[in-house]
């Protein structure tokens, strides 16, 4: 009975994290669409694919039904994000880096959600790290292609590496027998810290030169 409650709690936590990540990523996509002067429907589409793109690819690779097809509240979450941007557009614009803030939060939450779901399906940690990274970055790639921008992952700015580092941090915490919540919180904090520091100090990987 105890194991059953633990499984239910784990699934509920994954859904909560995924819902929060959906909202954060949808906000980031809609904000960029607004900067490109998309109409409301276009902004919704950009926000939705940003939010569900990575998780959809992950679920297809894991041979399971994409999460948003089983839970329509994720589409409602994107509608809520659109309404939030419309109503609080002036407040969001006043933030120094609204896109960066919501994109980074969504990135961290989706990496953890992707890892959690992969582990719940019985895959090893190295697969979970790959799937967590895909969950985090693939939606942003689709978003940038939709708004005719070079995807962040292909620029010099570090974007995918924090996902891998956060995934390794999760695995290390698990090996130390920390609780699931502690593993998730530490992983999210690691991703946020690496991403923020990379942008602040302009860290980047060496570019490949065609000599």
Exposed, middle or buried, 137 (CB in 10 Å: 0-12/13-18/19+)? buried
Phi (first) and psi of residue 204, to 5 degrees: -165, 155
- Each of the 211 residues of the chain gets a pLDDT tens digit; together they read 445 444 445 556 666 777 887 888 898 889 889 889 999 999 999 999 999 999 999 999 999 999 889 888 889 999 999 999 899 877 766 655 656 777 788 899 889 989 999 999 999 999 999 999 999 999 989 999 999 988 878 876 788 999 999 999 999 999 999 988 899 899 999 999 999 998 888 888 777 777 6
- Distances in whole angstroms, Cα of residue 204 to Cα of each of 95, 154, 160: 25, 11, 11
pTM above 0.95, yes or no: no
Query: Using the 8-state DSSP alphabet, how is residue 43 labeled?
Result: H
Burial track 86-95 (b if 16+ CB lie within 10 A, e otherwise): eeeeeebeee
Helix (H, G, I), strand (E, B) or coil at 157: strand
User: Are the CB atoms for 54 and 138 separated by under 8 Å?
Assistant: yes
């Amino acid at each position: 009975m105890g194991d059953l409650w633990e499984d239910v709690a784990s699934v509920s936590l994954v859904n909560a994290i995924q819902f929060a990540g959906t909202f954060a990523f949808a906000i980031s996509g809609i904000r960029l669409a607004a900067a490109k002067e998309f109409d409301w429907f276009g902004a919704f589409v950009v926000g939705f694919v940003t939010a569900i793109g990575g998780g959809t690819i992950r679920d297809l690779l894991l041979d399971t039904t994409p999460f948003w097809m089983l839970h329509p509240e994720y589409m409602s979450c994107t509608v809520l994000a659109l309404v939030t941007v419309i109503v609080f557009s002036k407040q969001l614009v006043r933030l120094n880096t609204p896109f960066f803030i919501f994109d980074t939060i969504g990135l961290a939450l989706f990496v953890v959600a992707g890892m959690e779901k992969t582990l719940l399906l019985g895959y090893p940690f190295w697969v979970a790290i790959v799937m967590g990274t895909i969950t985090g970055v693939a939606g942003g790639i689709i978003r940038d292609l939709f708004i005719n921008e070079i995807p962040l992952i292909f620029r010099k700015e570090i974007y995918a590496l924090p996902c891998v580092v956060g995934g390794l941090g999760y695995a290390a915490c698990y090996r130390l027998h920390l609780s699931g919540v502690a593993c998730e919180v530490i992983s999210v904090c690691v991703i946020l810290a690496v991403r923020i520091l990379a942008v602040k100090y302009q860290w980047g990987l060496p570019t490949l030169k065609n000599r």
